[in-house]
Amino acid sequence: MGMSEPFIQPEAASLELDNRQQQLEYLMRRFGDKVLYLAYSYLHDRYWAEDVAQEVFIRIYTNLDKFQGRSSIYTWIYHITVNLCRDQLRAQTRRQRLEPVKLQRPTWPNVEDRVLDSLQQQELWQTILNLPVIYREVIWLHYYEQLSLKDIAKILGISLPTVKIRLYRARQHLQQVLQAGEGDA
């Protein structure tokens, strides 16, 4: 199948869940590396590129029935990727403008700095422990055990897209909780 051929027929607007998951898995296998490389070429950061690539496939999954076949599937995916990269770059620029200038930390942090770092790590750990199990396990396996998403899928007996979605949702939840905590200070 060439890249100019649409993968999904426009008349397939009401996709069944299994068929939809199979299509997503196919698209991830077929275009996952291209999406990741494209995102990296925009962002120049591996982790941001992985986050964007993950978001691309989440959007594809949620909008699969809206694809009308007017262009190739790759063109549609490429468009989503570029837009998400641009959004990420704009957000990064805003964050840089809003963040105060940080002074260089001394080589040996004082006791107060070490205590603050420890408290922040404890707060993060407690937040992770409060996540639902399905999110906590992917966070633990990915960040603490440093397992690949493919290995996590095998260990948990779930599909790779499910692992990615759970990791994405766990990150979102952590970010919301931690940002809400900053507002309380």
pLDDT surpassing 70 at residue 2: no
* SS3 assignment for 27-64: HHHHHHHHHHHHHHHHHCCHHHHHHHHHHHHHHHHHHH
Q: What are the residues whose beta carbons fall under 8 Å from the beta carbon of 76, sequence distance 6 or more?
A: 67
The pLDDT of residue 92 is above 90: no
Cα(182)–Cα(176) distance, rounded to whole angstroms? 10
Q: What count of residues does the chain have? A: 185
pLDDT for the residue numbered 163: 93
Mean pLDDT on 161-170 = 93
* Confidence at residue 91, expressed as pLDDT on a 0 to 100 scale: 81
Task: Say whether pLDDT at 168 is over 90.
Answer: yes
pLDDT digits (tens, 9 = 90+) for 9-38: 444 444 456 788 888 889 999 999 989 988
pLDDT of residue 184: 55
> pLDDT per residue over 111-138, tens digit each?
666 666 666 677 777 777 788 878 887 8
Tens of pLDDT along 46-68?
A: 888 899 999 999 999 888 888 88
Q: How many CA atoms lie within 13 A of 14 on its CB side?
A: 0
- Which pLDDT tens digit goes with each residue over 64-83? 888 887 777 877 888 898 88
- The whole-model pTM stands at 0.46
User: DSSP alpha helices (H): ranges in the chain?
Assistant: 17-43, 46-63, 73-98, 111-129, 133-139, 149-156, 160-184
Q: How far apart are CA 60 and CA 54, in angstroms?
A: 10
- For the chain, list the domains and their CATH numbers: 17-98 (1.10.1740.10), 111-184 (1.10.10.10)
CA atoms of 23 and 172, how far apart (whole Å): 25
